Amino acid sequence: MRPIQMVDLKAQYLKIKNEVDKAVINTIESGAFINGPQVKAFKANLENYLDVNAVIPCANGTDALQIALMALGLKPGDEVIVPSFTYVATAEVIALLRLTPVMIDVDPDTFNVTADLIEAAITDKTKAVVPVHLFGQSVDMEPVLKLADKYGLYVVEDNAQAIGADYTFSDGRVSKTGTLGNIGCTSFYPSKNLGAYGDGGAIFTKDLALAEQLQRIASHGQSKRYYHDCVGVNSRLDSVQAAILTIKLAKLDEYAQARQKVAGSYDLAFNSVKDIQIPAKQQNSTHVYHQYTLKVPAQKRDALQNYLKEKNIPSMIYYPVPLNEQKAFLPFIKEKNRSLPVTESLCRSVLSLPVHTEMDQEQLDYICNEVLAFFK
C-alpha cells in the first residue's frame, strides 16, 4: 500500500505533470514573472468560474482577508464578528488593523456560525461579520445576509476552505461560496482545495467600486503607477503560480468529486458507530470536504489519534484551541469570561481524517477498518 498522507500533492502533480511542467517553463522563458499574461488569464478564468465581476489575485489568503477589511474603511475599535472555531488568520487580520474581533460560537453539527449566533453578538459598534465556510461547507448564508441588511453590516466571507462549493437560496438560485457577501477571500496554499505550488490568494466581489479599492490597496494604494491614493500593501500572485492554478482550476470540480467520494466511503463505514458523529451535511450547500472531520467522545479522541498513528494513518486536530483562548487575542476580548461552550467542546472532540484527490480504495479500506477496530 502507498503510504497514507493527509494530502498527497506529489501524486496529484504526477497526473498533471506534463501540462504543469510546460506551463511553468513557458512562464519562466517569457520572463514575465510578475503580473504576466498568466495572472490575467487566471483572474479571468476564476471570475468566470465563480461568476463574479472581479477577482483580485494576491499573495496569500491572510492578505486577502486583510485587504478586504482595509477596503471597507473601518475605524479602530469597530467590531468585526468572527467564529472562534477557525484558523487564526481570520481573526488575526482584524486585530492587526486595530479593529476588535468579537469571537462567537458555532453550530455543534455543521461547525459553522449561524445568523442567530451572529445576531446575539451585534452591538452598535459592529460593522462587519466574517463567516468562515469551515471544512468545505457553506455557512447558511441567506439568514446571515438578511441580518447584515437589517443591521447595515459588511459581509466578508472567508472561503479559504470551500472554494467550489455551491449555496442554494430558498428561491432556487445557486451561487458559489465567496460570492454571496460583499467580498470573498480565498487561499491557494498548496493543501487547499485549489492549491498552488507555493503561496497565493484571491479576493472576489461583484461590486465594481469595491473591486477598484481592493485592487488599489493590494498594489501600494496606487491607481496609477507612482501615484498613491491611500496606504496599501504589496500583495501579488506571481505568474508561475497563476499558470499552475489555471491548470488546476479546470480540474477543481473533478477534484471536489474525488474528495466527496472519499467522504462518502467514510460516511458509510462510520455512520452506525455509536461513538462517531460523521460530518453533518446542510440541505442548502454542497460540501467540498477540505477536511473530513469526525466528532468522537472527548476522552477517546487522543487515544484514537495515537492508535491511528501507530497504524501509520495520519490525522489532524483542526483546531485544538479556541481563538478566544489564544494568548495573542486576550487583549482584544471584550467580555473576558464569556465562554463559548460549543467551540470548547469541539476543540476536545474533533479529528480530521486524510481526504484528498489521490486516495485509493486500498488506503480507504485500511483507514476505515482501523477506525472501526479502535471502536470495537
| Interface pick for ligand PLP out of 101, 136, 181, 201 (rule CB under 6 A) | 201
Q: By C-beta, is 184 or 232 nearer to ligand PLP?
A: 184
CA angle, corner 186, sides to 185 and 190, nearest 5? 165
* Minimum distance from residue 160 beta carbon to ligand PLP (Å): 3
Q: By C-beta, is 23 or 82 nearer to ligand PLP?
A: 82
Q: By C-beta, is 201 or 354 nearer to ligand PLP?
A: 201
* Minimum distance from residue 63 beta carbon to ligand PLP (Å): 7
Which residue number is nearest to ligand PLP in terms of Cβ?
Answer: 61
Return d(Cα 156, Cα 233) in angstroms, integer: 19
* Minimum distance from residue 134 beta carbon to ligand PLP (Å): 7
| Interface pick for ligand PLP out of 27, 66, 84, 90 (rule CB under 6 A) | 90
Decide if residue 89 touches ligand PLP (CB under 6 A).
yes
Q: By C-beta, is 86 or 138 nearer to ligand PLP?
A: 86
Q: Which residues pair with residue 70 across a beta bridge?
A: none
| Interface pick for ligand PLP out of 187, 193, 293, 305 (rule CB under 6 A) | 187
Q: Which stretch binds ligand PLP (CB under 6 A): 66-74, 135-143, 154-162, 264-272?
A: 154-162
Q: By C-beta, is 136 or 232 nearer to ligand PLP?
A: 136
| Interface pick for ligand PLP out of 38, 46, 52, 61 (rule CB under 6 A) | 61
| Interface pick for ligand PLP out of 46, 69, 160, 211 (rule CB under 6 A) | 160
Q: Hey, how many other C-beta atoms are within 10 angstroms of the C-beta on 375?
A: 15
**Radius of gyration of the chain from Cα atoms?**
21
Sequence-distant (6+) residues with CB within 8 A of 231 are: 221
Instruction: Classify each residue of 259-272 as buried b or exposed e, where b means 16 or more C-beta atoms within 10 Å of its C-beta.
Output: bbebbebbeebbee
Q: By C-beta, is 131 or 232 nearer to ligand PLP?
A: 131
* Minimum distance from residue 111 beta carbon to ligand PLP (Å): 11
Widest pairwise Cα distance in the chain:
67
* Minimum distance from residue 158 beta carbon to ligand PLP (Å): 5
Q: Hey, how many other C-beta atoms are within 10 angstroms of the C-beta on 63?
A: 26
Chain Cα centroid distance, residue 69: 16
Size of the site for ligand PLP (CB under 6 A): 15
Q: By C-beta, is 319 or 332 nearer to ligand PLP?
A: 319
Return d(Cα 193, Cα 188) in angstroms, integer: 8
165: helix, strand or coil:
coil
Return d(Cα 73, Cα 71) in angstroms, integer: 6
Return d(Cα 132, Cα 113) in angstroms, integer: 8
Sequence-distant (6+) residues with CB within 8 A of 268 are: none
> What would the grid cell of residue 371 be?
477506525
Q: Of 291, 301, 70, give the one whose Cα is nearest residue 193.
A: 291
Q: Which stretch binds ligand PLP (CB under 6 A): 56-64, 208-216, 293-301, 326-334?
A: 56-64
Return d(Cα 177, Cα 225) in angstroms, integer: 33
Write down the residue that cell numbers 460560537 correspond to. 105
Q: Of 341, 346, 344, 324, give the one whose Cα is nearest residue 333.
A: 324
Decide if residue 82 touches ligand PLP (CB under 6 A).
no
Decide if residue 87 touches ligand PLP (CB under 6 A).
yes
Q: By C-beta, is 183 or 364 nearer to ligand PLP?
A: 183
Q: By C-beta, is 86 or 126 nearer to ligand PLP?
A: 86
Write down the residue that cell numbers 485544538 correspond to. 320
Pick out residues in 109-148 that bind ligand PLP (CB under 6 A). 132
Instruction: Give yes or no for a contact between 201 and 57, defined as CB atoms under 8 angstroms apart.
Output: yes
Q: By C-beta, is 72 or 91 nearer to ligand PLP?
A: 91
The site for ligand PLP (CB under 6 A) is made up of 60-62, 86-87, 89-90, 132, 158, 160-161, 187, 189, 199, 201
